[in-house]
Chain A
Amino acid sequence: MINYNRFTLDNGLRILVHEDRSTPLVAMNIIYDVGSRDEDPGSTGLAHLFEHLMFGGTAHIPEFDKHLLLAGGENNAFTNTDITDYYITLPAGNIEIAFWLESDRMNLLDFSDKNLDIQKSVVIEEYNQRYLNQPYGDAMLILRPLAYKVHPYRWPTIGMDISHIRDVRLPEIRDFFFTHYAPNNAILTLTGNISADSAINLSQKWFGAIEKRNIRTRDLPAEPEQNEARSLTVERDVPVNALYKVWHTGQRTSNDFYILDLITDLLSGGESGRLYTRLVRQKKLFSEIDAYITSDIDPGLIILNGKLMKGVDIHQAEESVNQVINDLKEKYLSSPEMEKVKNKYESSNIFSNTSILNKAMNLSFYDLIGNTDLINNEVDLYRKIDRKMVIEAVNRYFNPSNCSTLYYLSSRKQPK
């Protein structure tokens, strides 16, 4: 059981605290409720570029990292389609340094052309390293616009086109800051060796004076229901053929999320997953295969991807994937198999919550989606799933008309 306290400051900043005295450290996590879905289609990649700029210092504290390091701390951040998340761990005695630093950069960032130019180059190299210079690195860049026609999930967090990063100017950056970075658009979570009283006092002291800001209203176009199978074939200079299939899902907060997550676990969780057992181990069609559900807040995707063994026809491989899925549509699961995936979920939940940083991130995210108690009762939601719910969900979501397929083929002559 993870106990936590929740407060809201007058300026709208939400604060969560979980005390864990078994560690000498404290983790501080701040979620800003902004991700790449909040960008304009003409200027994508901004949320992520902004995350880089947040380490550029302020007029008041020019070097963010320096003080944190002097305090024995460590920090990083990530951006995805929905959120921007900043996190710090440091020895408990120095926690006030983290408050000082995070409140300062929430208050006002120092925007300079020089810093912007440098971070643009860094992000362009990140784009090159992760997406262009890795075999299969661009697969999701291709799949997103195939699956989404309207919703901003159609572009990746790094940006729809790298020219968007190149072209962005300081006024846009400044505007982005004031319309998204604000106490009333953030959740501050503290876990570890800190009491609730101390956390609330420090929050009031350091964040209390920052004024509310006018957050840009989120009005995202809903993705219309997909009602025809989509597919695309690309050829790339890669060593082996790969197959990608994605299906639209429901919202993160719907109960279907849990059912579909459980189904992807049945399919590919661990070595005893159905896809692995049948298609890697028995039929030897794939060298690896994986399926998972995205944790997107708006309706997300189930993503299946596999790399083919030599000489296997990609359509035959796809057919056998469909067979594994169709089995789930027709036959009820055995109780041991249901039990297996539920046990696995319970166990990974326990292991994940041994880290104060994981606990901080999870608490923040659950609070953002409006149900902080999920930190303790998400396991029950999996426990309540029955065989009938599984068969219904597979039939509802795993339809060809809800599916986009990418045939990612090797352009090389296959050696004998």
Chain B
Amino acid sequence: MPPIIPVEPGRIPEAGFALLSNRIPVYMIEAGTEDIMRIDFTFMAGQAAEYLPLLASTTNMMLTEGSLHYSSSRLNKILDFHGAFYNLYTEKDRAGIVIFFMNKHIEKILELAREIIFDPLFPAAELKTLMKKRLRWYLVNRDKVSSLAIDQLFESIFGKDHPCGRQAVQDDFLNLSPALLSDFHSQYYTPENLAIIVSGKIHRNTVDLLNKFFGELHSAGRSIKESGNVIKSEERKQVHINKKGAVQTAIRIGSLSINKLHPDYPGMKVLNVVLGGYFNSRLMKNIREEKGLTYGIHSVINSLIISGFKVISTEVSKKSTQKAIDEIYKEIQLLQEVPVEKEELGIVKNYMLGEIVRMFDGPFAIAESFRSVWEFGLDNKYYYRLVEKIKTIEPDEITALAKTYYKSDDLYQITAG
């Protein structure tokens, strides 16, 4: 057997920084060999900000449906002609647009990006079409046990009235108007609220060009109202959603949790990997590789500004549902009572250090890793802390974390099938 060299993530690339004339921050990640670029125009305009169901995502999706100078089809034709790809996104915290393109087209792309982001018209006819389409997608999704279960879990942990927990119903697809979208847009999609993250081959004139297209913009002076949303988790810890004719049952077990800002978070990352965060995890080994009950079982911990949350997810045949649930709790309990063996912990540590190397491999991966700490007001120090924690964590600390954060009374158990 060849010797294994300990994995050492080494220096994590730092992002360059510039301010445009109007103080829009620009973060630059220079890497890669091709003359291509990815730009993320990002706003705190995610689901958590919406005061009506579907408002944040619909506003975002309507950005490319017609603007001051371009109809939607013309806009898309031009972007396609230049070989550009874009991805409109609405997450729980943030929303925006990511555009991938070849550098030779940067001026045209920036001109269109400004138009898309700041001059949308939200035409009524296009909105109506979009909402009809979205309703069809929604209906298809509501036929998937996995969607039913995760939507219910979010409702249970964030509460029925919180935008991150509220489940859309059919009527919600009829209630949005251009005026509502404009109002949301004018509050959240403002130059003051924008950050630009550029990655790829950065040129000497990149910042100048961004200044040319984005540096003069100012908003009409509207500011964001405090949402006043409070998380109020549901009382009922176990919910089953009946789905006629389902072959499998989706299981989601989870709860609110700490986020990246908490000192225990890096340790929780390690605990999560042991439990269900990689192919050799406890849950995979037990429930897939020893019992063959499922095609896959995973656990994640996720970080939002307002809170973190953790979820264990799997789909199993209907008759094995209870068995799988019992085994999940058994694995949690085992982590609370028996220290992880050194050998297993060694595997987890090396796998995680390898993951960190992959998270910083290439400009686009670096840009995503940058954003996921930047949005919490953190910087690379977080990653150095994480690396340090991975290297030094002891079995006892994992046991203690499992006891603190995986109390079975705190966990919500959702099944759909």
Contacts and interface: CB of A to CB of B under 8 A. Distances in A.
A288 B358 CA distance: 34
A66 B76 CA distance: 47
A237 to B, nearest CB: 6
Interface in A330-350: 336, 339-341, 343-344, 346-348, 350
A122 B133 contact: no
A173 to B, nearest CB: 16
B80 A133 contact: no
B220 interface: no
A240 B136 contact: yes
A65 B80 contact: no
B295 interface: yes
Interface in B63-83: 64, 72-73, 76-77, 79-83
B80 A269 contact: yes
B357 interface: yes
Contacts of A212: none
A281 interface: yes
Interface stretch (A8-16, A69-77, A139-147): A69-77
B64 to A, nearest CB: 7
Interface in A17-42: 20, 22-25
Interface residues of B, number: 70
Contacts of A307: 136, 140
Among B4, B64, B142, the one with the most A-chain Cβ atoms within 10 Å of its Cβ is B4
A135 B140 contact: yes
Contacts of A237: 244-245
Interface in B340-354: 346-348, 350-351, 353-354
A226 interface: no
Interface stretch (A87-95, A314-322, A363-371, A395-403): A87-95
Q: Is the interface of B mostly helix, strand, loop or mixed?
A: mixed
Interface stretch (B31-39, B49-57, B181-189, B258-266): B31-39
Interface stretch (A78-86, A112-120, A384-392): A112-120
Given A24-B357, A24-B361, A133-B247, A125 B142 contact: no
Interface stretch (A244-252, A270-278, A296-304): A270-278
Contacts of A239: 136, 139-140, 142-143
Contacts of A93: 5
B1 A67 contact: yes
A128 interface: yes
Nearest to A93: B5
A123 B137 CA distance: 28
B155 interface: no
B133 A272 contact: no
A25 B361 contact: yes
Given A25-B357, A336-B81, A65 B350 contact: no
B136 A72 contact: no
B7 A125 contact: no
B161 interface: no
Given A70-B346, A343-B83, 15 more contacts: A73-B354, A74-B354, A74-B355, A118-B290, A121-B293, A128-B317, A269-B80, A270-B76, A271-B80, A272-B73, A287-B132, A307-B140, A309-B132, A339-B81, A344-B83
9 contacts: A22-B32, A25-B361, A122-B289, A128-B315, A238-B143, A271-B73, A307-B136, A336-B81, A351-B100
Interface of B: 1-2, 4-5, 7, 10, 31-34, 36, 64, 72-73, 76-77, 79-85, 100-102, 129, 132-133, 136-137, 139-140, 142-145, 244-248, 278-280, 288-295, 315-317, 346-348, 350-351, 353-355, 357-358, 361-364
Interface of A: 20, 22-25, 65-67, 69-74, 89-91, 93-94, 96-97, 99-100, 117-123, 125-126, 128-130, 132-136, 237-240, 269-272, 277, 280-281, 284, 287-288, 307, 309-310, 336, 339-341, 343-344, 346-348, 350-351, 353-355
